[in-house]
Amino acid sequence: MTNSPLHEVQNGLENVVVAETEISDVQGAKGLLVIRGYGVEELAELSPFASTTSLLWRGVLPSRTDEEALSRALGLARERLSPGVVRLAEATRLPASPLEFQRAALATLEHENPVDVTALMTVAAAIWYRSQARMPLVTPDARLDHAADFLRMLAGERPAPAAAQALDRYLTTVSDHGMNASTFATRVVASTGSDLISAVAAGLGALKGPLHGGAPGPVLDMLDAIGTPERAAVWIEDQLAKGERIMGMGHRIYKVRDPRAAVLEKALEELERSGTRSPRLDLARAVERVAASSLKRKYPGRELHANVEFYTAVLLDVLGIPRELFTATFAAGRVLGWCAHFSEQKATGRLIRPDSRYVGKAPL
């Protein structure tokens, strides 16, 4: 075994560049997220989900006609795929996690295509939710946009336009984010020459973990446990004293506040202007302030600020999405990035195969 710098272990692969990409760029020190040349703030304002789909997969924002065609294709795919997923829900014991159901539902796909994979994420999440709650299932409606139909499949009624727009913004905001863990997992599978469905299954597996996509449910639990802004300081200090992590705070790359937190906070303000006020928004803001200053005291020199999950929790909650579906909803947005990275990685034709340093027993 050599001791060359090449064999230094990079725990967590920090600062290791594994690919060139044209899909997105995360600049942690500046708090910037650029998706195919657009800042996330601008993209969330101007690009509905179908338009973001085109941007990520084809590299350009579509014409109005192309956007409508893509929205329609997603809708028709939701309608076409729904019966197979319903049969799956009836035939198997529902898993405890909706992400496991989304993963299982991938097996119902007959063709490997990004539109079907994307449509399936919302269909499977809604069917999982209503099946386990023993509520009648709601058939998809291809005439609606993806976000609006997801809310309809969950609640059983057409959402207010402002609610559909807020979810649409959320899905665009989380559609891609550099070489995050689930995207890397997807690219590793793509690099072996495997298929899109297997790669998306790997992405779902990685997203499920609480250090990646599993935090927003616990953020809401934390806000509930704190209850009022005055109790935030005691609760946060107590958690930190016990060595617990504060969910929704900190990020591997961002050393300032995650720009997506601001986009989602703005979406909440817009919802408020349209008459839907989140009962938890003021509390969330107070808890964020307290948590940031407690973390600063505990880890001077480290920059631990609110990440995307913090306001995801508040936004999805006010849209009526149950907390057990928060990560599955994240997957419904991030699947766009997984599909884009799958194609980009395949085009390189290069197997991802890093090295490890053996520290076990030597042979006798």
CA 238, CA 31: separation in Å to the nearest integer? 29
- Is the Cβ of residue 160 or residue 253 nearer to ligand COA in the bound state? 253
CB closer to ligand COA out of 41 and 66: 41
The distance of closest approach from Cβ of residue 12 to ligand COA in the complex, given in angstroms and rounded to an integer, is: 6
* Residue 7 designated active-site: no
Give the span between the Cα atoms of 115 and 9, in whole angstroms. 39
Q: Which is nearer to ligand COA, 101 or 311 (CB)?
A: 311
The minimum distance between CB 232 and ligand COA, in angstroms, equals 14
Residue of this chain nearest to ligand COA (CB atom): 250
Minimum gap (Å) between residue 137 Cβ and ligand COA: 31
Toward ligand COA, which CB reaches closer, 57 or 311? 311
Closer to ligand COA by Cβ: residue 89 or 308: 308
**How far is residue 115's CA from residue 42's CA, in Å, rounded to a whole number?**
24
Choice among 177, 251, 305, 341 that is catalytic: 251
Tokens of residue 313, six digits: 């929790």
Q: Residue 37, by phi and psi: left (phi above 0), alpha (psi -120 to 50) or beta? A: left
How far apart (Å, rounded) are the C-alpha atoms in residues 339 and 55? Answer: 12
Single-letter code of the amino acid located at 273? R
Cβ atoms of 319 and 163 within 8 Å: the answer is yes
The single-letter DSSP state of residue 34 is E
First vs last Cα of the chain: how many Å apart? 17
Please report, as ranges, the residues that interact with ligand COA according to CB under 6 A. Answer: 211, 215, 245-252, 299, 302, 304, 307-309
Decide whether 30 or 302 has the Cβ nearer to ligand COA.
Answer: 302
Phi, psi (5° rounding) for residue 38?
A: -115, 135
Whole-angstrom Cα distance, residue 134 to residue 132?
5
- Could you tell me where the DSSP H helices lie in the chain? 40-46, 49-58, 64-91, 98-105, 114-132, 146-155, 161-173, 181-191, 196-207, 216-226, 232-241, 259-273, 281-298, 308-318, 326-348
- Contacts of residue 218, defined as CB under 8 A and 6 or more positions apart, other chains included, come to 210, 247, 248
Q: Nearest Cα to 223, choosing from 286, 174, 269? A: 286
Which tokens in the block code for residue 249?
A: 């705070």
**Least distance in angstroms from the C-beta of 214 to ligand COA:** 8
Distance CA 100, CA 29 (A): 35
Active site residue 251: yes
Residues tagged active-site: 251, 309
